Homo-oligomer: A and B are copies of this chain.
Amino acid sequence: MVEECNSPVPGQMMRRPLLISSLLRHADRYFGQREIVSRNEDGSIHRYTWRDCHTRTRRMANALSALGIRMGERVATLAWNGYRHLELYYAVSGSGAVLHTLNPRLHPEQLAWIINDADDKLVFFERSFLPLIAAIAPLCPSVQAFIMLGSRADLPAHASMMTYEELIGAHGGDYTWPVFEEDAASSLCYTSGTTGHPKGVLYSHRSTILHSYSSVMPDAMNISARDCVMPVVPMFHVNAWGLPYTCALAGAKLVLPGCALDGRSLYQLFEEEGVTFSAGVPTIWMGLLDHVRANGLRFSTFKRTMIGGAACPPAMSDAFRDDYGIDVVHAFGMTELSPLATTCTLQAQHMSMTKAEKRRVLQAQGHVLYGVDMKVIDDDGAELPWDGESSGHLMMRGQWVMDSYFKQPPGGALRDGWFPTGDVAVIDADGYMRITDRSKDVIKSGGEWIGSIELENIAMTHEAVRLAACIGVSHPKWDERPLLVVVRKQGAVLDRDTLLGFYEGKIARWWTPDDVVFVDALPIGPTGKVLKNRIREQFRDHRLPTVRA
């Protein structure tokens, strides 16, 4: 039975593939009564349970197979965070097809390009996207059907499309989830690169399950069956950071806020549904904080939030922690990383620190979760020391790190087996990583790097600043010098020199921006992040006052 040669002997444990369908089966069987609450496009609330979700998902799986969808084929969604979108997450991936989540904030031509690149067979969409679909459909001949997420009654008179509820109604819930290799593709998400066409990241069932296991850990999202979780991050943005999966794994109640992401609507859901944990990008939280501040409101159940997708300004985490008693977990991730790679929580060695010291630790992007590995390297590929000072290119590898973009050959995106994130970071002796910049956002002044994120963060601690972006502007002597572009808070008064004076003593003098420009708004991209490349274009010819004529 047991061979004595120099190769491993197999263990004698059960061996079942790690499949996404098992998450929903688990949620149904063990947390069948736990609720899923969704806000519909019309503002009404839909409420059912993980068990109901499983029943309808199996009906949809039957519908997909009746529509001729085969394993590996792509099925797209153009949808908000809601229960039908959740059902498609499980119905499509669970049946062996690939869920392709489209970002509705992209331009129609870009959407059509992506749909064609992915070769999507079906596109499920929200009612409000009917005009968008009308624009896209002629450009996407390979799509077999555009299906509206609603019932026939919701469809305008002239429209002849299929509807989601008719499909659900036409198929029974008798369906057995197929068992296949865990390396099978489960979902596809395009990253909106700043140059060239968007590129697809093709997740597998295995990478999704391992990412989910690691996400619920106490030092990550810390999700239990006592939690009520609201993913504010959209389900079309890296699978809402995996929350549709992790909540099923942990047995949490799920609150899906639909398209109403303004402060008032979110606050209402937080309070009415008893949300304990939420996750999203900084720009969304700004709206929420503005709303609660303006109305003198408090949170009664909200305890922890994960903020990531862009650097969380310290002023924001301070506001959450100090003013509202909400724990902030700063996290770093990207589409190519499923997305969660690092989270920032305290460790044993920090427990005796002062509040200010802890605060400083918690501003980093944090430590890796077991399953991924990181390093920083210099331009020649040599690994840099973990001294909290040596900044270099951040490289990642691990169980839920992309190997190659969709349609690229294996390993196509890697360098010596590591994925280059395109971020610049330092790592300290405790293994805490701090992003100092995007590689392309770094400001090179006199051969040295200036971290634009730190300059922005400092500006945003000023009481009159709402939003700040720092870019490099060309300078004849120093090559580049920092320019700060600022949106003031409503009614606030602030001038250039006051703001520049504000930097004194906070950074090396030569890091101080050379100029400040006040604007009414900053361009925000489809995933809620400030678009620095747009700002750079806009101020390409800005003449710094430090340049002598």
Contact of A225 among B30, B185, B345 (CB under 8 A): B345
- The yes or no answer to A202 lying at the interface (CB within 8 A) is yes
Q: How far is the CB of A65 from chain B (nearest CB, A)?
A: 10
Contact of A347 among B205, B226, B367 (CB under 8 A): B226
Instruction: Given A224-B219, A431-B30, check contact A10 B373 (CB 8 Å).
Output: no
CB pair B34–A348 under 8 Å, yes or no, is yes
CB pair B348–A72 under 8 Å, yes or no, is no
Interface residues in A387-428 (C-beta closer than 8 Å to B): 397-410, 419
CB pair A12–B408 under 8 Å, yes or no, is yes
Instruction: Given A4-B72, A70-B4, check contact A348 B225 (CB 8 Å).
Output: yes
- The yes or no answer to A33 lying at the interface (CB within 8 A) is yes
When distances are taken between beta carbons in the complex, the residues of chain B under 8 Å from A22 are: 370
Q: How far is the CB of A515 from chain B (nearest CB, A)?
A: 41
Count the A residues whose beta carbon is within 8 Å of the partner chain — how many?
93
CB pair A226–B348 under 8 Å, yes or no, is yes
When distances are taken between beta carbons in the complex, the residues of chain B under 8 Å from A367 are: 30, 225, 251
| Nearest B residue (CB) for A8 | B184
Interface 9-residue window, one of A13-21, A161-169, A306-314, A454-462: A13-21
Contact of A202 among B11, B15, B186, B251 (CB under 8 A): B11
Q: Identify which of A26, A180, A217 gathers the most chain B CB atoms within 10 Å of its CB.
A: A217
When distances are taken between beta carbons in the complex, the residues of chain B under 8 Å from A181 are: 8, 10
| Nearest B residue (CB) for A346 | B226
Contact of A402 among B3, B14, B205 (CB under 8 A): B14
CB pair B183–A6 under 8 Å, yes or no, is no
When distances are taken between beta carbons in the complex, the residues of chain B under 8 Å from A400 are: 13-14
When distances are taken between beta carbons in the complex, the residues of chain B under 8 Å from A419 are: 14
CB pair B370–A185 under 8 Å, yes or no, is no
- The yes or no answer to A71 lying at the interface (CB within 8 A) is yes
- The yes or no answer to A253 lying at the interface (CB within 8 A) is yes
CB pair A407–B7 under 8 Å, yes or no, is no
When distances are taken between beta carbons in the complex, the residues of chain B under 8 Å from A96 are: 8
Please report the C-alpha to C-alpha distance between residue A373 and residue B21 in the assembled complex, in whole angstroms: 14
CB pair A348–B228 under 8 Å, yes or no, is yes
Interface 9-residue window, one of A206-214, A289-297, A481-489: A206-214
When distances are taken between beta carbons in the complex, the residues of chain B under 8 Å from A406 are: 12
When distances are taken between beta carbons in the complex, the residues of chain B under 8 Å from A203 are: 11, 13
For this complex, 28 residue pairs linking A to B, each with C-beta atoms less than 8 Å apart, are: A5-B70, A6-B71, A6-B72, A8-B180, A8-B184, A9-B202, A11-B185, A11-B186, A11-B207, A13-B204, A13-B206, A13-B207, A13-B338, A13-B401, A14-B207, A14-B402, A14-B419, A15-B206, A29-B373, A30-B367, A31-B431, A33-B430, A217-B217, A218-B223, A218-B224, A226-B345, A226-B346, A227-B348
Residues of A at the B interface (CB closer than 8 Å) are 1-16, 18, 22-23, 26, 29-31, 33-34, 70-73, 96, 98, 119, 180-181, 183-186, 201-207, 210, 213-214, 216-219, 222-228, 249-253, 338, 345-349, 351, 367-368, 370, 373, 397-410, 419, 429-431
